[in-house]
Structure 1
Amino acid sequence: MTKEDKRKHILDTAEKMFAAFGYEGASTRQLASEAGVNMAMLNYYFGSKESLLQAVLERRIAGMRNQLEEAKEVNASAWEKLNRALEIYLNRVSANNSFHRIIYREISLNQRSTLSYFLSENVFRNVQTIMDIIREGIQDSSFRKVDVEMTAASILGTIYYLLNSEQVAARLLDTDFQDQAAVDTEIKPRIKKFLHDYLQAYLMHHDSEKQ
């Protein structure tokens, strides 16, 4: 196994451990044992538990950022780009729900200032891509002149609230959020349709505005 393969294996293992036990609950000895490496090797690759968490989260955030940037650069209308970006966000958050909880917990608690700053900067870059698409639509007059920042906050707030407040959302939508099949076949399509209809009504020009 090459150094890169070994590093990836440690990251894959740490990802599962952090998702299962959280940052505080996953000890470095547990992480090393699960990955089949000794503490010296774990420290060699990452130096500290915080650096390991940062590497795990950076990989997740970078993956989403690359997909969002690709959606932003496709040869399509701003409306089509926005819908692609929303689907990317929805798919990745629902598939990696535990990690998005860790991300926002770290940002909100601000207990590890260096990590919190890193996360907030990188998460904002992803949000910025969505705002860029909305601004593009406003600039080419396909969208109304709306509050771009509040629009982005409304989009992400809907997704994160429903997928990260499972007990309340389960009662609100009368669906078992522990059932991944139900999330995939019922919740995700419902969120997607709501956001599509909401944004279409909010962003698109009304007939009265064209007169």
Structure 2
Amino acid sequence: MEFNEKQIEILTVAEKLFADEGFDGTSVREIAQLAQVNVAMISYYFGSKEKLLEALVLFRIKSMKLQLENLLQENSSPIEKIEKLVALYIKRVYSNRCIYQILHFELSNKKRELNLEVFTQVKNDNLELLRNIIREGQLQGVFQQEVNIELLSSTIIGSLTHFHMNKPYFKELLHLPTEASYEHYVLTTFTTHIQKTIKALLTHEDN
């Protein structure tokens, strides 16, 4: 599904409101007011608030597959590809942390059934691309054969989620007084740490 400029504007407003006020705490009227459209336009584009959330999820994840496909085709070593993959995951999750926050809440409280089949399919497609990168390294003898590929993305995203959920603690602990210094740390030092962690999982033989 391709989104036009007005749809993207509505989705962007909805994302911020959902993250700040919760899905239930946000009304379609409030979204319409901030996006400077009428409620009928939102209904025309998305049908319902639930469908708008589903569209928001799709909007935020649809480009990941293309980026992974491009990474797989790069003329670089498996180690370099893994380093770039980790940096890509962290940058995307950090940049789109609002939608991850919304999804975590919606999927954990199970108050409503969302049709996220497309989201699941894209995640499966992305997992297969990750498998292909790992297999390439295994065929070259760079990565060990016994790798739990399914848990690699959870290791990356879970580490970032924990770090961000404890943001006040880490900002004080690591002397990161501003938002800019915190973001810089995430995209540099934290990313390097996770890159080393994932490379260790891929290259060290199990005992």
Q: TM-score, normalised by structure 1?
A: 0.80
| Conserved? CA contact 1:57–1:99, under 8 Å | yes
Are 2:62 and 1:31 aligned? no
- The residue correspondences of 1:114-129 to structure 2 (distance < 5 A) are 114-129=114-129
2:77 counterpart residue number: 77
The alpha-carbon deviation at position 24 of structure 1 amounts to: 1.6
Provide the alpha-carbon RMSD of the alignment. 2.8
Distance 1:115 1:81, change over 3 A: same
Structure 2 gap ranges (5+): none
Give % identity.
Answer: 30
Distance 1:196 1:66, change over 3 A: same
Partner Cα separation in structure 2 for residue 171 and residue 95 of structure 1: 18
Structure 1 gap ranges (5+): 207-211
1:100 counterpart residue number: 100
Q: TM-score, normalised by structure 2?
A: 0.81
More helix by share: 1
SS in 1 for 2:114: helix
Partner Cα separation in structure 2 for residue 136 and residue 160 of structure 1: 29
- Per-residue CA deviation, residues 105-152 of structure 1 (Å, 9 max, x unaligned), is 223333333335444443343344333322321233221112322344
- Per-residue CA deviation, residues 65-84 of structure 1 (Å, 9 max, x unaligned), is 32222222222222211111
Distance 1:205 1:176, change over 3 A: closer
Are 2:140 and 1:140 aligned? yes
In structure 2, what residue type is equivalent to 1:159? L
Structure scoring higher RCO (CA < 8 A, sep ≥ 6) equals: 2
SS in 2 for 1:114: coil
2:184 counterpart residue number: 185
- Per-residue CA deviation, residues 56-109 of structure 1 (Å, 9 max, x unaligned), is 121101123322222222222222111111111111111222211112222333
1:209 counterpart residue number: none
| Conserved? CA contact 1:166–1:177, under 8 Å | no
Partner Cα separation in structure 2 for residue 56 and residue 177 of structure 1: 31
Distance 1:35 1:205, change over 3 A: closer
The count of residues paired between Structure 1 and Structure 2 equals: 202
The alpha-carbon deviation at position 18 of structure 1 amounts to: 2.2
2:8 counterpart residue number: 8
Distance 1:176 1:111, change over 3 A: farther
Partner Cα separation in structure 2 for residue 11 and residue 110 of structure 1: 22
Are 2:125 and 1:149 aligned? no
